[in-house]
Structure 1
Amino acid sequence: MGLLFANGRNVVRETAEVFMENRENASAREMDVRGAALDQFAREFAVARKGGFDRFMDGLNRVPRPLMAFGTIGLCVSAMTDPVWFASRMQGISLVPEPLWWLMGAIVSFYFGARYQAKGQDFQRSIAATAAQAPVVAANIEALRALRADADGIGPVYEHEELGASDNPALADWQGARDE
């Protein structure tokens, strides 16, 4: 026995690992690779610390959408409360030249288009991070299924529908005995 297990060695295990991969070591290596990949993504897409001007500009960029929404609601309210005032303002808008409308449309389109693209890229990054977790979740589910063995150590415990107990009277009797 000293020859096989001396000095903290296990010759049987070491010999078996020549022919079969050690699953625990493989899981540790896989975790290290995934962790390194996620660290690389985190460094690549990390947001730099922002100064006061950058925070002010971010706040200013959030103003147009609420301003347009509340402005439109305000126009509807003013049309109902003072139709003459509203009509005079709309007459003024009818005097705006067409090229200016095109310019305003382009500015609004670029603003919302750029915002849509930035939000889309953020969404894709979150999807990539979630997808990177899928193998970990699958491995955890398999580990939990392995732990579902019954107290006698006979095998995994399943629900009736999974094993088709209604088709097998012996299995239904066994399941009934277990439930008691």
Structure 2
Amino acid sequence: MGLMASLFEVLFGPGQQELRRTVELFRENAEARAVRAAQARGAALRQFGAEFQLPQRGRFDRLMDAVNRLPRPGLALGTLGLFAAAMADPEWFAARMQGLALVPEPLWWLLGAIVSFYFGARHQAKGQEFQARLSETLARAPQGQAGRTLERMEPAADTGHDAALALEAITPERNPALEDWREAR
């Protein structure tokens, strides 16, 4: 009887820590693995976000951004203006178009290259700025409610081997607003 009592004390009593440590030698603790994986992802996202930190922008930079926004609407509105001018005063429009016909072809190629490089460079700069903002957002993603990070949050419930309790824990709660929206659709 003493042997059985000792065995039960090891399994269910104060000696449970030793048994857990022994089992973890042969099988990895899934909860600890998830915590380590979350910490590694968070560290990688923080490092990625740090690489794309944008410096604070001054007045001059903001002014240049505003000036850089003018060519596209100017080109679009100018093209519409040409159509309006052709309808309003065809003779004046024809004289201007004859002047454009006299422009040498290499000058047209140069204009095309300048416009292409301008819009290409702007597209690249805006794409990089978007990537920087995206990495900043992703770096903040692991934060939970009230500023707590996911690594420090306690599990909601330990369901053990109870399937009904596990199913209840993952079943979403009733959401009247969502139900109203679904009925409206």
CA shift at 1:150, angstroms?
A: 4.2
Give, in angstroms, the shift of residue 120 of structure 1: 4.8
Tell me how far apart the structure 1 counterparts of residues 102 and 20 of structure 2 sit (CA, whole Å): 88
- What do you get for the CA RMSD once the two structures are aligned? 3.4
Work out the CA distance in 1 between the residues paired with 2:45 and 2:78: 44
Deviations 1:106-159 (A, max 9, x none): 1001112223333455667759x88xx9xxxxxxxxxxxx9xx54698xxx9xx
Task: Could you tell me which runs of 5 or more consecutive residues in structure 2 were left unpaired when the two chains were aligned.
Answer: 1-8, 142-158, 172-185
**Residue 14, structure 1, aligned to residue 21, structure 2:** yes
Does the alignment pair 1:99 with 2:106?
A: yes
Contact kept? 2:10, 2:19, Cα under 8 Å: no
**CA deviation map 1:27-76 (0-9, x unaligned):** 11111111111111111012111111111111111111111111111111
Q: Which one of the candidate residues 40, 43, 64 is aligned to 2:47?
A: 40
Residue 57 of structure 2 aligns to a residue in which SS?
Answer: coil
| Cα distance in 2, alignment partners of residues 50 and 124 from structure 1 | 17
Aligned counterparts of 1:29 and 1:152: Cα–Cα separation in 2: 23
User: Could you tell me which residue of structure 2 aligns to residue 28 of structure 1?
Assistant: 35
Counterpart residue number, 2:59: 52
Q: Residues 20 and 2 of structure 1: is their aligned pair in 2 closer, same or farther, counting only changes over 3 Å?
A: closer
* 3-state SS of 2:14 partner: helix
Q: Percent identity?
A: 54
**d(CA) in 1 for partners of 2:59, 2:100:** 37
Gaps of 5+ in 1: 134-145, 158-180
* Aligned-partner Cα distance in 2 for 1:19–1:152: 26
Partner of 1:140: none
Give the equivalent residue in structure 2 for 1:136. Answer: none
* Larger RCO (CA within 8 A; separation ≥ 6): 2
Using the size of structure 2 for normalisation, the TM-score is 0.61
Alignment partners' CA distance in 1, 2:30 and 2:70? 55
CA distance in 1, matches of 2:83, 2:71: 18
The aligned length equals 136
